[in-house]
């Protein structure tokens, strides 16, 4: 049973009564509430089943300039569990670091276009540390015409990260 005390939990389970302690049944248990827009386990599994792993492009929306986004160093620094510098290497060959700029509300689209070869149907997983900028990146890419984009959250969403973090 989940007690819906926080807005984040209520957002995950909109059909439940706010403040209720009734049992919420999901096909899988989430370790913690996810940020709005981050895929559920089932949604992500369906995305993976519908797309070949080798075709999936991962857009890492984190900023390698930790003076701009200090929290990105937690996972994305050299000593983190998911270094940003691994994008495009043998550790994360399908990943491209296209930092989402909160002020400009954009990411460097040319980096994504180069990775997708301009194919707007390319399956894409966006992420940051926990999914906030991953969602903004997803919405930005959809506005640019990309049609097969999901928000995988990031290393803080371990259940999903374990499925795509090495792509």
Which residue bears the tokens 């005390």? 5
> What separation in angstroms does the CA of 83 have from each of 62, 72, 95, 123, 149?
10, 9, 11, 22, 22
**Residue count (the chain):** 167
At 109, the pLDDT band (50, 70, 90 cuts) reads: very high
d(CA 48, CA 115): 19
Please check whether residue 123 is in contact with residue 132, taking contact to mean a CB–CB distance below 8 angstroms. Answer: no
The pLDDT mean for the chain works out to 85
Q: How far is CA 123 from the centre of its chain?
A: 13
Q: Where are the beta strands (DSSP E) in the chain?
A: 57-60, 95-97, 124-127, 149-151
CA 119 distance to own-chain centroid: 20
pLDDT class of 32 with cuts at 50, 70, 90: low
Q: At 130, which helix (H) or strand (E)? A: none
The pTM of this model reads 0.81
List Cβ neighbours of 22 (8 Å cut-off, separation of 6 or more): 1, 16
Cα–Cα nearest to 47, from 166, 160, 162: 160
Q: What is the pLDDT of residues 53-104, one digit of tens each?
A: 999 999 999 999 999 999 999 999 999 999 999 999 999 999 999 999 999 9
* Residue 51, token pair as written in the block: 């797309």
Neighbours of 120 (CB within 10 A): 15
Q: What pLDDT does 33 receive?
A: 84
């Amino acid at each position: 049973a989940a007690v819906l005390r926080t807005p984040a939990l209520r957002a995950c389970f909109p059909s439940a009564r706010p403040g209720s302690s009734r049992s919420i049944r999901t096909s899988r248990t989430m370790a913690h509430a996810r940020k709005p827009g981050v895929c559920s386990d089932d949604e992500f599994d369906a995305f993976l089943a519908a797309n070949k792993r080798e075709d999936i492009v991962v857009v890492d929306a984190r900023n390698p300039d930790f003076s701009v986004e200090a929290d990105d160093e937690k996972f994305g620094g050299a000593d983190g569990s998911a270094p940003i510098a691994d994008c495009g290497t043998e550790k994360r060959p399908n990943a491209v670091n296209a930092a989402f700029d909160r002020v400009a509300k954009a990411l460097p689209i040319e980096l994504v276009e180069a990775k997708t070869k301009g194919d707007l149907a390319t399956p894409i997983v966006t992420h940051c540390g926990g999914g906030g900028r991953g969602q903004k990146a997803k919405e930005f890419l959809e506005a640019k015409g990309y049609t097969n984009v999901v928000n995988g959250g990031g290393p803080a969403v371990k259940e999903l990260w374990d499925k795509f973090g090495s792509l």
